[in-house]
Amino acid sequence: MTRTMSVTTFDLVAMKSRGEKIVAITAYDALFASLVDAAGVDLILVGDSLASVLCGEETTLSATLEQMTYHGRIVVRGTSRAFVVVDMPFLSYQVSVTEAVRNAGNILKQTGAGAVKLEGGFEVVDAVRAMVRAGIPVMGHLGFTPQAVHALGGHRIQGKDDEAASRLVQEAVALEEAGAFSIVLELMPTPVAARVTDAVSVPTVGIGAGPDCDGQVLVLHDMLGLNEGFSPRFLKTYAELGAAVRDAVGRYAGEVREGSYPAVEHGYER
């Protein structure tokens, strides 16, 4: 099950020091993981966004440890180069530090992934420190944190005033001091993301946080145009596969109904 990933946490940190941008993609299965890995991405995130993208839920809150472990394992199977990070789902790390370490350790044991990601700032610093002490690489996540969507009043940009921006900077520093090797910055003003990025020596990976982060991440299904109901301002689609899928299935359905598929050459001889 375990694969030897060419990219490591040390490589990602070194990329920041050299000014090289980190390319990250969120994917959920072996097939897509193998495609993005072959395309040369540096990091694949197995996001709890699978609850929304794959399962049709409105939020990420329903994602379970079992789901994240399963999808983490199959993504690792399809990966040979990129560093794989698995999201820790809601309530898998908030209850206690001991439970957080145990759940994070089990994710790595059962998936073969390289690291876990968890959301939050000061409130998760103790858990991050304990995980790192146990030998578990941790990626942080600041700004809009989807697991707190209800507490935040919806999908809102974070850090818009000076106090909130300063807190984000302080939380990023605290996460780095606790041992996080990287931090995702989501939905925050470009100048704030730049401040956070400058304040830490570990790489930041942005999504809806402007161009000054050390890297960028998009959900594969979103950037391929498969998730057609999701179109935030920060998203750029690089293909329109939703339309292509509808067209292909429509042509297949038409040929089946008119009897032209399968043709003789598509049959099996006994």
% pLDDT > 90, the chain: 93
Task: Give yes or no: residues 224 and 256 share one domain.
Answer: no
Task: Give yes or no: residues 72 and 94 share one domain.
Answer: yes
Q: CA-CA distance, 89 to 82, in Å (whole number)?
A: 22
**Greatest alpha-carbon span in the chain:** 75
Task: Give yes or no: residues 226 and 245 share one domain.
Answer: no
pLDDT of residue 269: 58
Average pLDDT, the chain: 95
Bridge partners for 218 per DSSP: 25
Task: Give yes or no: residues 208 and 75 share one domain.
Answer: yes
pLDDT tens-place string over residues 106-122: 999 999 999 999 999 99
pLDDT of residue 268: 60
pLDDT tens-place string over residues 181-239: 999 999 999 999 999 999 999 999 999 999 999 999 999 999 999 998 888 889 999 99
Task: Give yes or no: residues 148 and 123 share one domain.
Answer: yes
pTM summary value: 0.94
Q: How confident is the model at residue 267 (pLDDT cuts 50, 70, 90)?
A: low
Task: Give yes or no: residues 229 and 176 share one domain.
Answer: yes
Q: How confident is the model at residue 141 (pLDDT cuts 50, 70, 90)?
A: very high
In a domain, 123, yes or no: yes
Domain count, the chain: 2
In a domain, 185, yes or no: yes
In a domain, 189, yes or no: yes
Task: Give yes or no: residues 171 and 251 share one domain.
Answer: no
The Cβ of residue 65 has, within 10 Å, a number of other Cβ atoms equal to 15
pLDDT of residue 3: 55
Domain that holds residue 165: 9-239
Name the token pair of 182.
């990287």
In a domain, 23, yes or no: yes
Task: Give yes or no: residues 92 and 172 share one domain.
Answer: yes
Task: Give yes or no: residues 247 and 206 share one domain.
Answer: no
In a domain, 97, yes or no: yes
The CATH number assigned to the domain holding 187 equals 3.20.20.60
In a domain, 3, yes or no: no
Q: Which of 58, 176, 186, 255 is catalytic?
A: 186
Catalytic site residue 58? no
pLDDT tens-place string over residues 43-66: 999 999 999 999 999 999 999 999
Q: How confident is the model at residue 1 (pLDDT cuts 50, 70, 90)?
A: very low
- DSSP assignment of 192-252: HHHHHHHH-SSPEEEESS-TTSSEEEEEHHHHTT--TT---TT---S--HHHHHHHHHHHH
In a domain, 203, yes or no: yes
Task: Give yes or no: residues 199 and 216 share one domain.
Answer: yes
In a domain, 2, yes or no: no
Task: Give yes or no: residues 263 and 170 share one domain.
Answer: no
Q: CA-CA distance, 71 to 56, in Å (whole number)?
A: 16
pLDDT of residue 4: 59
* Burial of 81 per CB tally in 10 Å (0-12, 13-18, 19+): middle
Whether the Cβ atoms of residue 78 and residue 33 lie closer than 8 Å to each other: yes
